[in-house]
């Protein structure tokens, strides 16, 4: 009796291990089902709501449409960034401080002269609009790589 119960228990547990379907999460937050026959499919067709881009405090910026200059309101405050995401980006030197340092170096100004206007970021990528020494500039981040974005993107 004990032997048959042990064999039955081993048989049931081996069935559970025989299934090689795994659920993994992509960098943009969607879940993917990896099947044992080497195929895959999305479980979540749309990106999660918290990952979608959302403009923050963009109404405080007074923009000049004919020139590339930026005029800020006297009470302008930089948008708040996700602290958890900034901690993750620290190991790759891609935090907002690192990006501001690069913007200041590229535009021959001090870091204090670089003001963040708008941001749209996730762990995988981000778009940052700055006012660097009175000029609007846009940078994009892919992973931990930061490059100048040609053209000022609006959110």
Q: Cα angle at 108 between 103 and 109, to 5 degrees?
A: 75
Answer whether 34's CB lies under 8 Å from 24's CB: yes
Residue 34 φ/ψ, nearest 5 degrees: -95, 120
Q: What is the pLDDT of residues 87-96, one digit of tens each?
A: 888 888 888 8
Find the range with the poorest average confidence among 14-23, 57-66, 105-114. 57-66
Q: What is the pLDDT of residues 66-118, one digit of tens each?
A: 456 787 788 888 888 888 888 888 888 888 899 999 989 988 898 888 888 88
- The pTM score is 0.54
* More confidently predicted of 145 and 55: 145
Given a cut of 70, whether residue 63 has pLDDT beyond it is no
Q: Cα angle at 66 between 53 and 118, to 5 degrees?
A: 20
Given a cut of 70, whether residue 155 has pLDDT beyond it is no
pLDDT at res. 65: 43
């Amino acid at each position: 009796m004990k032997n048959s119960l042990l064999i039955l228990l081993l048989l049931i547990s081996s069935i559970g291990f025989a299934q090689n379907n795994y659920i993994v999460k992509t960098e943009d937050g969607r879940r993917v089902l990896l099947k044992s026959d080497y195929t895959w499919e999305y479980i979540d067709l749309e990106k999660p709501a918290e990952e979608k881009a959302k403009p923050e405090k963009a109404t405080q910026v007074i923009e000049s449409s004919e020139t590339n200059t930026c005029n800020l309101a006297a009470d302008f405050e930089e948008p708040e960034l996700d602290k958890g995401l900034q901690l993750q980006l620290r190991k790759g030197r891609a935090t907002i401080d690192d990006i501001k340092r690069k913007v200041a170096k590229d535009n021959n100004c001090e870091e204090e002269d670089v003001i963040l206007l708008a941001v749209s970021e996730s762990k995988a990528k981000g778009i940052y609009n700055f006012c660097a020494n009175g000029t609007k500039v846009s940078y994009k981040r892919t992973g931990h790589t930061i490059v100048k974005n040609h053209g000022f993107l609006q959110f």
